[in-house]
Amino acid sequence: MARVAIIGGHGKVALQLAKDLAANGHQVTSLVRNPDHVAEVSANGAAPVVADVERLDTAGIAEKLKGQDAVIWSAGAGGGSPERTYAVDRDAAIRSMDAAVQAGVRRYVMVSYMGAGKNHGVPSDNSFFAYAEAKAAADEYLRRSGLDWTILGPSALTDDPGTGRISIGPGQDGSVSRADVAAVAADVLERPAAVGAFIEFVNGTTPIHEALDRL
């Protein structure tokens, strides 16, 4: 059993992830910004902690992560202003990595997106540009953090039921259900072969566990 903290605990991926992890016997703590979300988080098997990581400093986030074995970042600004996108998806994410180091939490899983990186290719006049830039910076910082990191790169997300099957590899066409993203995040958590890997994937034909066995 591992003690796992999910940052961004009220998101659709995070709620399913908490349920998956709890079903596998893990002790889950979900950080949420809005007190109104506490009941739903609890109903999905996680212990809710109200914490606004956009406003907490590194020490404040570290305090929330003490005693955890792993951190999963599933938070995001959800669009809106570029300023808030950078504040959450880049700056708060980076503080959470430094906080994990401070709190002695070695394992860190980042939910990013397929094609993320410095060469993302998104034009500066595109509404997705701020997010692409923020994720590129956060993911690169994570790679240099010294943490035991894994970056997940799902393609376009859907609310379809989970299939339990994916195809791993960059540049694929297609989408992936949020339920399957949660299943991948739960599966990679304790895989040594997933440490240091950027795993890009879509829904496919290979069972998730089998696909990840090939890492």
Q: What is the pLDDT of residues 153-166, one digit of tens each?
A: 999 999 999 999 99
Q: At residue 81, does pLDDT exceed 90?
A: yes
Q: Which amino acid is at 50?
A: V
Strands 156-158 and 107-111, bridge-based pairing: unpaired
User: Residue 55 gets which letter from DSSP?
Assistant: T
User: What integer is the mean pLDDT of 100-118?
Assistant: 98
Contact indicator for 175, 203 with CB cutoff of 8 Å: yes
Angle value at C-alpha 110, between 82 and 193, nearest 5 degrees: 155
Q: Which amino acid is at 125?
A: D
User: What integer is the mean pLDDT of 24-28?
Assistant: 97
Contact indicator for 200, 135 with CB cutoff of 8 Å: no
- The two tokens of residue 132 are 């692409």
Angle value at C-alpha 182, between 176 and 184, nearest 5 degrees: 80
Q: Place 3 in a pLDDT band, splitting at 50, 70 and 90.
A: very high
User: What integer is the mean pLDDT of 70-97?
Assistant: 95
What is the residue-averaged pLDDT of the chain? 97
pLDDT tens, 116-135?
999 999 999 999 999 999 99
User: What integer is the mean pLDDT of 140-162?
Assistant: 98
Q: At residue 146, does pLDDT exceed 80?
A: yes
Count how many domains the chain has: 1
| CA 165 centroid distance within chain | 19
pLDDT tens, 186-211?
999 999 999 999 999 999 999 999 99
pLDDT at 31: 98
Q: Which domain holds residue 154?
A: 3-213
Residue 168 falls in which region: left (phi positive, over 0), alpha (psi -120 to 50) or beta: beta
pLDDT at 79: 78
Q: The CATH number of the domain where 204 resides is what? A: 3.40.50.720
Q: Place 1 in a pLDDT band, splitting at 50, 70 and 90.
A: confident
User: Residue 146 gets which letter from DSSP?
Assistant: -
Looking up tokens 């109104």 gives 36
pLDDT at 205: 98
